[in-house]
Structure formats: structure tokens, C-alpha cells
């Protein structure tokens, strides 16, 4: 695994070498929403070699003499959107042979040429946590990617920490999706018992590693499942836990506290019922989805657009996610806008689409805001991000224009039409693949 990551890093380095001669690019005149700071009405954004080199008000930023200058007046520039829960890439996860597959990596199954990435870019998504489904208690390892055009998944992967080589989280689920009529688990209590037993085993495995103290003779036999769970126990790998009902949310929190893992609650349909408990629990984050109506499944009858507002008021860190294709990536901005309508503050809603999500993937040092030194991932919008009439005009990733609405080929992915979306399969997200 590390070898592969190293290869990936080498490729990135190559790109950087190629870009070493690149001239700075300057975007002027737009309203800039840096997220990490106040909106800048007449802003300047400078990027070079895939990174942001400066952001500020016109006049306060020195524009390099050799820069390519882009007039963005009348536009809005904001960071590329960070989607904390997506199923783009047409990958899959664990199978029905077991209810827990911490060894499974979705990375190994993603089609980098999938048109779902074009669709995501059309919606402004530049970083995504691609997850296996929710039909299992542990369906596998997730992968953090940039949605940019690529031939190999290695070119898309974002490594959280070069030392550990970790590039994703662990997908877990509770509630009804992992239940099997007449099978195991058949109840919520059994689900929790199975998860506890597996983590207890992992604690034991971790203890053996620690007792070996570097002595290869004393090391336990390699076990991919246990190795992954040890990363979770050590806080290096974040758990992304699908959960809807208020009591299931609290169960997810209870298990995370017992084993001390870092938890992002995912979906959290009934967050509004336990917003204070969630905030007090000190979970790493709460990643919520918005749907156009409640219902469709029993667990989701309690979903409300006021979740964002309630969690914000309670003091929790809130992100939004698409769960694409449950909500199409092209409606990601819209989802947060509906949260604003129900009382969430505009600033927090924008953060929930960007920097908050980055924090929930340990990627806030690289993406989620427009700050010098961060990856040059940003959107040029035709207007207010929360207006229905606004379109994403350009999506830039790592300093490259990756999607451009004015290009007829690219525009297709924003609109749809004949033979644009040829997916290999429909999404069986709740089935567990």
C-alpha cells in the first residue's frame, strides 16, 4: 500500500516539476468568499504551481509582473466544494460474506473515467470522500479524492498524512440498512454487539503489537481487518458512521466513546432531536444531508431542513454532503441554501460545504478555504452561491481549470442529455453492494 502511495506522490511531484515554470495566474474583480475570513468584495486571488499564493482585496495584494490576468468581475469565487459523503466513481465495497469488512478498500474499484466525476465538477465538488455503501456495519475503507480528470485513481487520491499513508476513513453504518431479515445482524442491539466484539479484538491486536515493541518475532500475524481498526483506534483513520434515527445517532456516539475513535456522524436525519447531545459528545463532526421531502424509508421520516440550524446553535461542527447519487452533486450548493432558508447562518452554511468537510477528513490544511499555501481548488460562480439562478462557471483543481461551463463538452455534464451519463450500474447504496 505504501509503495502505491509513494508512486502516487512521485507522480504528483512530477506534475509539480512540470509546473515549476508556470506563470502565476491572477483572478481579479470577483467577490471572494475565502471561508477562513470575511468576504472580499473586490478581491484578488493568485495561484501558481497548483497552490494559492495570495488572497486579498484589490490593492492590498502585489500582482506579479509576469502573471496571467483573468477578469472575474461580477463573479463570485469560493473554494471548491468538499463533499464528505459521496458515491461517485462507481466503486463498491464489502460483500455479503460478512457484516464487517474493514480490510476492503473502495480505492481498488473506482473508475477514474466515470462521468460521475464530470458531474461532480459541474456541481463544484473538487474534493470528495468516496465511500462504500451503508448495507453493512463496516463496509470498508473510504477514499479522499480530487475529482480532477485522471487516468488512474492514484492521480486523484489525497493523502492525509504522508507518514501514515492514510488516504481515507472507515465507513460504518447502524440503523436498519445493515440489518438482515432472518440473518445477522437482525437487530440494532446485535449490530452494536458485533461492532464492539470486533473493536475489542482490535484492541487486543493493538496490545500485541505494542508488546512486541518492534520485535518482528513477537508481532501478531498480519491481519488486514485488524490493521485498519488499529489505525482507527490510534485516531489516524476517521470513522464515517451512517446513522439516521436519534437513538441510532446516540449509539454511534456511545461506541465511539467506548473505543475512543474519531467519529463523523453521517446523514443524521434526526439530528434536530439530539443536537445538544451531539454537540456535548464532542464528535469530530456532523455531516448532514438535505432531502426534498421526508420519508421514503422509515429512518428518514424525521429528516428536516432545520438540522443545520439546530446543530449550529448547539455548537457542533456541521458539514453537508450529497451522498451522490442520492442527491446529485450538481445540487450541493442548493442543499446548503435550503439549510440557510431554515435558519442556518450563511457563513456556517458556506463553511459546511467547504472547510468543515475538510476538517472531517483531516484535509483542512490543504483544502476548504482560500488561503495562501493551500491547494488552488476554487469555483468561479456567476453569482450568489445560494441563488437558484447561479451557475458554476469554472471549477479549478490544483491550479488547473478542470471544468468550464463555456466549453460545450463540459457544459453537457451540467445539463444532461442524450448519452451523457453512461454509468455501469445504478446505485445500490442501501444494499451494501
Q: Where do contacts with other proteins occur on this chain (CB under 8 A)?
A: 291-298, 300-301, 325-326, 328, 331, 334, 337-338, 340-341, 386-389, 391, 414-423, 426-427, 430
With residue 187 as reference, give the H or E element that holds it: none
Residue 311: C-alpha distances to residues 223, 315, 337, 347 (Å): 38, 6, 16, 14
CB of residue 115 vs other proteins: minimum separation in angstroms?
9
C-alpha span between 36 and 124 (Å, rounded): 18
Residue closer to other proteins (CB basis): 25 or 394? 394
Residue 60: C-alpha distances to residues 23, 43, 53 (Å): 20, 9, 13
Residue closer to other proteins (CB basis): 186 or 295? 295
CB of residue 239 vs other proteins: minimum separation in angstroms?
23
Residue closer to other proteins (CB basis): 198 or 412? 412
Closest CA to 232 of 166, 319, 180, 154: 166
C-alpha span between 27 and 401 (Å, rounded): 13
CB of residue 238 vs other proteins: minimum separation in angstroms?
25
Residue closer to other proteins (CB basis): 48 or 116? 116
Residue closer to other proteins (CB basis): 165 or 421? 421
CB of residue 257 vs other proteins: minimum separation in angstroms?
29
* Positive/negative CA dihedral, 323, 275, 141, 168: positive
Residue closer to other proteins (CB basis): 365 or 391? 391
Residue closer to other proteins (CB basis): 79 or 385? 385
C-alpha span between 216 and 224 (Å, rounded): 17
C-alpha span between 377 and 145 (Å, rounded): 12
Task: State how beta strands 68-71 and 239-243 pair.
Answer: unpaired
CB of residue 334 vs other proteins: minimum separation in angstroms?
6
CB of residue 349 vs other proteins: minimum separation in angstroms?
10
Residue closer to other proteins (CB basis): 153 or 303? 303
With residue 304 as reference, give the H or E element that holds it: none
Residues sharing a CB contact under 8 Å with residue 423, sequence separation 6 or more, in sequence order: 90, 114, 115, 116
Residue closer to other proteins (CB basis): 366 or 429? 429
> Residues 390-421, buried b or exposed e (16+ Cβ, 10 A)?
bbbbbbbbbbbebbbbeeeebebbbeeeeeee
CB of residue 298 vs other proteins: minimum separation in angstroms?
6
- Tell me the angle at which helices 408-415 and 115-122 cross, rounded to the nearest 10 degrees: 90
C-alpha span between 31 and 43 (Å, rounded): 6
CB of residue 13 vs other proteins: minimum separation in angstroms?
37
CB of residue 412 vs other proteins: minimum separation in angstroms?
9
Give the length of the chain: 433
Amino acid at each position: 500500500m505504501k509503495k502505491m502511495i509513494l508512486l502516487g506522490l512521485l507522480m504528483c511531484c512530477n506534475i509539480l516539476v512540470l509546473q515549476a515554470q508556470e506563470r502565476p495566474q491572477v483572478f481579479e474583480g470577483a467577490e471572494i468568499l475565502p471561508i477562513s475570513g470575511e468576504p472580499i468584495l473586490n478581491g484578488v486571488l493568485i495561484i501558481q504551481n497548483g497552490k494559492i499564493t495570495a488572497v486579498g482585496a484589490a490593492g492590498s495584494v502585489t500582482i506579479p509582473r509576469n502573471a496571467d490576468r483573468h477578469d472575474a468581475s461580477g463573479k463570485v469565487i469560493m473554494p471548491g466544494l468538499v463533499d464528505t459523503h459521496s458515491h461517485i466513481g462507481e466503486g463498491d465495497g464489502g460483500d455479503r460474506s460478512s457484516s464487517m469488512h474493514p480490510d476492503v478498500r473502495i480505492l481498488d474499484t473506482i473508475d477514474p473515467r466515470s462521468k460521475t466525476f464530470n458531474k461532480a465538477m459541474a456541481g463544484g465538488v473538487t474534493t470528495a470522500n468516496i465511500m462504500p455503501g451503508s448495507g453493512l456495519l463496516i463496509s470498508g475503507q473510504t477514499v479522499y479524492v480530487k475529482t480532477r480528470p485522471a487516468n488512474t485513481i492514484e492521480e486523484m487520491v489525497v493523502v492525509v498524512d504522508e507518514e501514515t499513508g492514510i488516504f481515507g476513513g472507515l465507513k460504518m453504518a447502524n440503523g436498519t440498512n445493515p440489518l438482515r431479515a432472518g440473518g445477522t445482524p437482525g437487530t440494532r442491539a446485535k449490530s452494536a454487539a458485533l461492532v464492539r466484539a470486533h473493536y475489542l479484538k482490535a484492541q487486543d491486536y493493538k496490545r500485541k503489537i505494542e508488546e512486541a515493541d518492534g520485535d518482528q518475532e513477537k508481532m501478531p500475524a498480519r491481519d488486514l481487518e485488524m490493521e485498519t481498526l488499529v489505525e482507527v483506534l490510534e485516531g489516524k483513520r476517521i470513522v464515517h458512521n451512517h446513522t439516521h434515527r436519534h437513538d441510532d445517532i446516540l449509539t454511534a456516539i456511545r461506541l465511539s466513546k467506548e473505543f475512543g475513535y474519531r467519529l463523523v456522524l453521517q446523514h443524521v436525519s434526526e439530528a434536530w432531536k439530539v443536537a445538544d447531545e451531539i454537540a456535548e459528545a464532542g464528535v469530530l463532526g456532523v455531516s448532514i444531508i438535505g432531502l426534498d421531502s421526508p420519508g421514503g424509508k422509515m429512518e428518514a421520516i424525521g429528516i428536516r431542513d432545520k438540522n443545520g440550524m439546530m446543530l449550529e446553535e448547539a455548537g457542533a461542527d456541521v458539514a453537508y454532503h450529497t451522498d451522490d447519487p442520492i442527491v446529485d452533486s450538481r445540487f450541493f450548493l442548493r442543499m446548503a441554501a435550503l439549510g440557510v432558508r431554515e435558519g442556518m447562518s450563511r457563513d456556517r452554511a458556506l463553511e459546511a460545504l467547504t472547510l468543515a468537510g475538510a476538517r472531517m477528513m483531516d484535509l483542512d490544511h490543504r483544502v476548504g478555504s482560500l488561503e495562501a499555501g493551500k491547494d488552488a481548488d476554487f469555483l468561479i460562480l456567476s453569482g450568489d452561491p445560494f441563488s437558484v439562478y447561479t451557475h458554476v462557471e469554472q471549477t479549478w483543481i490544483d491550479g488547473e481549470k478542470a471544468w468550464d461551463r463555456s466549453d460545450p463538452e463540459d457544459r453537457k455534464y451540467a445539463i444532461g442529455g442524450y448519452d451523457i451519463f453512461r454509468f455501469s450500474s445504478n446505485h445500490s447504496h442501501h444494499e451494501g453492494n
